[in-house]
Amino acid sequence: MEGIQSLLPFVLIFAVVYFFMIRPQMKRQKQEKKFAEELKKGDKVITKSGLHGKVADFSEKLNAVIIETGAGKMTFDKSSISHELSAKLNAPKKEKEDKK
């Protein structure tokens, strides 16, 4: 009985860490992977570094996306496209107005 009571705090700490840190991170990674796989030509995107552009083409050999910007076309790795920022950019205007 003593052994179980002494392990209980460690089990509770692990459970809290798992549900508040590990699980949400895994969910976010799945969403970003799904987003990168569903990209198509013409989608407006924002990279994690803040570059705005439109998807012009894909390079499957490099696992990259070619983004058309005001300065020309640039190639970025698919993982450098920000899911959250691009989702905000492509959100319908009505949703944007409701949040204000």
The burial of 81, by beta-carbon neighbours within 10 Å (0-12 exposed, 13-18 middle, 19 or more buried), is given as buried
Whether residue 82 contacts residue 46, with contact meaning beta carbons closer than 8 Å, is answered with: yes
Mean pLDDT of the chain: 88
- Reading the block at residue 75, the tokens are 């190639």
What mean pLDDT do residues 51-56 have? 94
3-state secondary structure of 62: coil
What mean pLDDT do residues 12-28 have? 94
| Strand ordering across the sheet containing 64-69 | 44-46, 52-59, 64-69, 72-77
User: How confident is residue 87, by pLDDT bands cut at 50, 70 and 90?
Assistant: confident
Is the full-model pTM beyond 0.85?
no
Give the pLDDT confidence score for residue 36 in this predicted structure. Answer: 87
